[in-house]
Amino acid sequence: MDFARLWLGLLLPLVAALDFSYHHQEEMEAFLKSVAQNYSSITHLHSIGKSVKGRNLWVLVVGRSPKEHRIGIPEFKYVANMHGDETVGRELLLHLIDYLVTSDGKDLEITNLINSTRIHIMPSMNPDGFENVKKPDCFYSNGRENDNFYDLNRNFPDAFEFNNETRQPETVAVMEWLKTETFVLSANLHGGALVASYPFDNGIPATGTLHYRSLTPDDDVFQYLANTYASRNPNMKGDQCKSKMNFPNGITNGYSWYPLKGELLFISTILLIACTQR
């Protein structure tokens, strides 16, 4: 075997098409870089910062003008794996990327979507947590938090009360990123329950907390979106993750589920959960 072939042989497993297994940071990076190279006209790969351990926080943008905002083209974002042990969302987003770029120009609906939306995809907000997972299970385990042992979904400023948690590098990176784009809708993928949860997660009496809920002014839109997602998945008729919660129609208001402070949920955010805690 000549040297070139040996070298290729060592490189190929990293850039080969996406398989159905978990992808560590290096494999994920290799995949994202390969997509950005092969589909350079509709993708833009950039890192919005670094984790505690110095791992890049990658975002891949898919759109007809992936590098910049265009008037009339809404900005959408997906964030997954902010809890390092909630790993399904990370893989789902990698597969979504694969599906989007390989369907462009072949599937009318996807081509239309890429023409009319700019989709920002962050497969992992907590790459250190992911690498820290020792034994994946459906309960709290190593890796939920970042490398400083902070729960990133309790680490953001809160709209309703003061959140004194020390802001983590991953959180700061996302906060700065949010200032650079005018996101109009977002989804945040977690694990541990099968439900589409819509904002708010925290609240005050004026948002309905006396009635065990906390609704946004756009509640009809959020319920519509949550229902649209949940109704497409026959498994979402009730919670499939052996927890005691039962979600009618597979959706819930975040506050009704349980109040939560400092989460990555904004007015225009919907939370989609695939099977661990949010």
Ligand X SMILES: *[C@@H]1O[C@H](CO)[C@@H](O)[C@H](O)[C@H]1NC(C)=O
Binding site for ligand X (CB under 6 A): 15-17, 31, 34-35, 38, 64, 108, 111-112, 115, 164
Q: Which is nearer to ligand X, 111 or 231 (CB)?
A: 111
Binding partner of 164, given ligand X, Zn ion, none, CB within 5-8 angstroms per partner class: ligand X
Q: How far is the CB of 78 from ligand X (least distance, A)?
A: 18
Total residues binding Zn ion (CB under 5 A): 4
Binding partner of 86, given ligand X, Zn ion, none, CB within 5-8 angstroms per partner class: Zn ion
Binding partner of 47, given Zn ion, ligand X, none, CB within 5-8 angstroms per partner class: none
66-105 residues in contact with Zn ion (CB under 5 A) are 83, 86
Binding partner of 190, given Zn ion, ligand X, none, CB within 5-8 angstroms per partner class: Zn ion
Binding mask 175-214 for Zn ion (x = CB under 5 A): ---------------x------------------------
Phi, psi (5° rounding) for residue 7? -65, -45
Q: Which residues bind Zn ion (CB under 5 A)?
A: 83, 86, 190, 278
